[in-house]
Chain A
Amino acid sequence: NAGVMQNPRHLVRRRGQEARLRCSPMKGHSHVYWYRQLPEEGLKFMVYLQKENIIDESGMPKERFSAEFPKEGPSILRIQQVVRGDSAAYFCASSPQASGGRGQFFGPGTRLTVL
């Protein structure tokens, strides 16, 4: 029974490039949350998606960041024209329904380094 899968685990980009982070939720889970963890900081909510819908994007930066969760395939967090400040660990969590942590299972994260 595979858990939440994220890839790549490590991603290195140069300033100005695009970063694409993928998250495959646990089987049977249709809700996905993305969080960002800066060094020495806690996780900060970015966006909450259900299949084909963005439910809450109140934590997403207004520019360069976008997320999607298509009917088929993984959820994708996309960062355009990356800057050094985007270097962080990005975690995806999935749940079978909006569960406030009661059923949010986290993936291993993608560590993004911007050179």
Chain B
Amino acid sequence: QQQVKQSPQSLIVQKGGISIINCAYENTAFDYFPWYQQFPGKGPALLIAIRPDVSEKKEGRFTISFNKSAKQFSLHIMDSQPGDSATYFCAATTQGGSEKLVFGKGTKLTVNP
């Protein structure tokens, strides 16, 4: 049972364009939603995260939009750059307990020069 569904599987964007990656979750107990960026041969690195009490969070060119009623959240990368080419994972977790992360399957982003 996949608790976090991520789309698209792959995405190609021109330099300067907007990259949008979507995720949907099922477990209403989730209360923290991070996004990770992973380059080939490296471990995931935390990019940005949001809690369900806010609808949007922005850090530089990266923005998370959160829709609690729809149980959906998305990552927007503005002014996409070739250096942003990586695999992006959305994740979710519940405060308390082990706080293990539940990951989406990932989106491979390619930003063409």
* Interface contact tally, CB-CB below 8 A: 70
B43 and A101 form a contact (CB under 8 A): no
A42 to B100, CA, bound (A): 14
B100 and A48 form a contact (CB under 8 A): yes
B interface footprint on A14-34 (CB within 8 Å = 1, 0 otherwise): 000000000000000000010
Residues in A neighbouring B104, C-beta threshold 8 A: 42
A43 and B49 form a contact (CB under 8 A): no
B101: contacting residue among A100, A105, A108, CB under 8 A: A100
A101: contacting residue among B4, B6, B42, B46, CB under 8 A: B46
A56 and B44 form a contact (CB under 8 A): no
- Count residues on chain B whose CB falls below 8 Å from chain A CBs: 28
B-binding residues in A (CB < 8 A): 4, 33, 35, 40-45, 48, 55-56, 58-59, 91, 93, 98-102, 104-109
Of the A-B pairs whose beta carbons lie under 8 Å apart in the complex, a sample of 18, sorted by A's number, is: A41-B106, A42-B4, A42-B106, A43-B44, A43-B103, A44-B103, A56-B98, A58-B100, A91-B44, A93-B43, A98-B99, A100-B32, A101-B99, A101-B101, A104-B46, A106-B36, A108-B41, A108-B42
